[in-house]
Structure 1
Amino acid sequence: MDNRKLSVLSGILIFIATVALSWYIVSGDEEEDEASQENDGAVVLMMEYAPQTIQSTIRFTGRVVPFDQYDIYAEITGIYEGSDKPFKTGTSFNKGEVLLRMNDDEEQQDLEAARYEFAALISQILPDISIDYSAHYDKWQAYLDELDATDSLQPLPEVDDRQFRMFLNRENVYSRFSSIRRQEVRLQKYTIRAPYDGVVTDHAINPGALVQNGQQLGQFTGVENLEIEASIPASKARYISVGDEVTVQTEGYNSDQYSAVISRKNAVIDPGTQSLKVYMEISGSEFEPGNYLEGEIMGQSFDEAFKVHKDILVRDNELFVVENDRSKLQTVELLASAGDSMIVTGLEPGTKIIDEFRNAAFEDAKVTEREDQ
């Protein structure tokens, strides 16, 4: 029994001795590391300030919009009959095809009656023309012979004779002619044709409906000519000009880059966002109205400048530099923002900049440069 107690006691003493020895070894290593760090300083990543000419960029996110968009309104009153194709959202039409056709039977009849009356008027004055203005008789007789009440009126014969012109005015020839031409223009408004190749992007009417003057009937959008609409900060807008080339890309489709050209630039600043609209021409079958694109526009060029990451800036306009192996806060002049970076100036060429702010977070800390991995 005594031997057993002795064995247990020996084990406890050995365990205590082992723990004490381990603590001594670890403490010695920590003191050695602390002494080493105190002698060598914090190991940080540095970069050399090498000023050069830097071209700033203006990043933007824009939306693809159609250049050609036509809101369709009725200019007459009538019954909607139909079109060359169903006038429904998503239907494509070629230029010149009938988008909408209203019933124009009554207008056609009124117009034909007016043309017959005009032919009768010319017939009545031809005898007087043959007697008093015989030099013009053949032209007006030929005009009457070619007049067709079912077709548009042809321009009247030219008249250089002042007396003959006054005679025609007294007989209301010109006023009746202008009235009929106005009716012809009105008749054309019963049929609405596609102004370009495109697609119906909204419709608000079905066949058989009564169309009222001024009623919106739908929207027709061109699909060939597209442009990008983007908002640019007003402070940077002065560096952008019509004709500047732009690089854009879209996320979700692919990572390919495309070229665009600034075609228009608004002159009025939005007071709410302090930005203005810029429009860029772009071509590519990959895009559809509504797509969002990201891009860059070349901005102002800065001489004797340098680009640093925003994370190393302290209080917005200071950063740590190295003087005599110690960190020191230095004020710099901010020139422009460039995404995650900032374009700065104001340091002496060759100055070492600490590129790791958190490893040198206090003034006069001893630092040592390490290699970037």
Structure 2
Amino acid sequence: MKLIVVYFAAAWLLGLAPGALAQGDPAPVVVSVATERLLDPVTPYPGTVISRNHARLAAEVEGRLEWVADIGVVVRKGEIVARLDQVLLEQNLLADQAAVNRERARLKYQSAEVNRLSPLVKSQSVPQSQLDEAVSNRAMTEAEIAAGQARVALTRERLARTTLRAPFDGVITERLLQAGEWAESGTAVARLVDTSSLEVQTWVPVNALKFVHKDSTLTLVGNPSNGVGTVRTIVPVGDNRSRLYEVRLTIDSGRWPVGADVRVAVPSADTRKVLTVPRDALVLRRDGTTVYRIDAEGLAQRISVNTGIAVGEHIEVDGIQSGDRVVIRGGERLRPGQNVTIIETGAKP
């Protein structure tokens, strides 16, 4: 007796027609109502969550790396990401400063020489050419001092650039060189990614551009959750090989990590009014797609339908009318003309 009760209960919960147990018994079903609604036909395109700020930070001077920030370290703008050995540049700076001091001492002597020769020329004790030579030597020394000061400033700047700093807030995601390795000027040392400023990158065909505009809101389907994105920009130049156009959408930070795959629902046609039912109402068989409509007498009628556009859980159909009750649970085992018992009415699509 207990086995029979369990068997009937399982059949009821699974939406099995009790007719499978006793011929002619009403089958329990869940129904919904066919409804006319405005649908925006959409086509899903693959997208990727990317950061608006990501950079491969390169050494600006050559040298041996002393330290590189570890992977996963969060850094703020201006904080140190890597440091190069400074000994060679410090020695160069001392040499440059010494050269400037030497030229300054020479300038002091040459200025005194000009001052000494000037009255002697006036008294014709020495020739004018000797004074001219002294003035010329002083001018050349002044130029050497200016060049030396420029070398000092350049060495100081190179010395400052041995410390590589973050240009924006972010996370170190890759160490391209390790401490102890030699870095040439322009060689990438680490990769920095800003995880607080995210967007979705997708590519769409040219015929979708007329339905997508700046500030448009598009649905994003991802894992573990769905969301929306706002079109930030549309690059008006197509890729030469794929003939697709790049679209960038801003999203809320924290919903998906950088690198996550999402599907971007891009409108593919104008909005139109169609008759829709829930997807669960469709019964797919080899001979075609059908729905079960419940008439006024509570009998199931098998109706062949053609499907159209689908958005979310709703799909366009023909062959029935707005307001018709269609089975969304329990229809798999129904027979045309079978009595049904409506145990629940689902929400309108």
- Pairing 1:353–2:330 present: no
Once structures 1 and 2 are overlaid, which stretch shifts more, 56-65 or 91-100?
56-65
AA at the equivalent of 1:342: I
Alignment CA distance shift 1:338-1:199 (3 Å)? closer
Q: Which runs of 5+ in 1 are unaligned?
A: 1-29, 124-139, 154-179
Is residue 319–residue 332 contact of structure 1 (8 Å, CA) maintained in 2? Answer: no
Distance 1:323 1:194 in 2: 70
Is residue 228–residue 280 contact of structure 1 (8 Å, CA) maintained in 2? Answer: yes
Q: Given the alignment, which residue of 261, 267, 282 partners 2:230?
A: 261
Tell me by how many angstroms 1:152 deviates: 7.9
Distance 1:343 1:115 in 2: 84
Tell me by how many angstroms 1:243 deviates: 1.7
AA at the equivalent of 1:336: A
- Pairing 1:343–2:316 present: yes
Q: Given the alignment, which residue of 12, 22, 39 partners 1:54?
A: 39
Once the two structures are superposed, residues 40-87 of structure 1 have per-residue CA deviations (whole angstroms, 9 ceiling, x without a partner) of: x766555443323235677799765432111123354322345xxx63
Distance 2:199 2:284 in 1: 41
What RMSD in Å do the two structures reach over aligned CA positions? Answer: 5.4
- Pairing 1:87–2:69 present: yes
Q: Secondary structure at the match of 2:78?
A: coil
Alignment CA distance shift 1:312-1:71 (3 Å)? same
Distance 1:56 1:365 in 2: 35
Alignment CA distance shift 1:372-1:292 (3 Å)? same
AA at the equivalent of 1:72: L
- Pairing 1:70–2:42 present: no
Distance 2:264 2:54 in 1: 27
Distance 1:365 1:233 in 2: 48
Tell me by how many angstroms 1:303 deviates: 0.7
Q: Given the alignment, which residue of 210, 216, 221 partners 2:182?
A: 210
Alignment CA distance shift 1:366-1:331 (3 Å)? same
Q: Secondary structure at the match of 1:195?
A: coil
Could you say which residue in structure 1 is the equivalent of 2:283?
A: 313
Q: Counterparts in 2 of 1:226-241, with a 5 A limit?
A: 226-228=198-200, 239-241=211-213
Distance 1:365 1:269 in 2: 59
Tell me by how many angstroms 1:321 deviates: 3.8
Q: Kindly name which structure, 1 or 2, has the bigger radius of gyration based on alpha carbons.
A: 1
AA at the equivalent of 1:198: G
Is residue 200–residue 221 contact of structure 1 (8 Å, CA) maintained in 2? Answer: yes
Q: Given the alignment, which residue of 255, 274, 293 partners 1:304?
A: 274
Once the two structures are superposed, residues 270-321 of structure 1 have per-residue CA deviations (whole angstroms, 9 ceiling, x without a partner) of: 97xx99875432344x567448597885846331331322452334644344
Distance 1:221 1:350 in 2: 53
Write 1 or 2 for the structure with the bigger share of helix: 1
Tell me by how many angstroms 1:244 deviates: 2.4
Tell me by how many angstroms 1:112 deviates: 7.0
Alignment CA distance shift 1:308-1:359 (3 Å)? same
Once structures 1 and 2 are overlaid, which stretch shifts more, 90-99 or 66-75?
90-99
Q: TM-score, normalised by structure 2?
A: 0.55
Distance 1:269 1:370 in 2: 57
Q: Secondary structure at the match of 1:372?
A: strand
Q: TM-score, normalised by structure 1?
A: 0.52
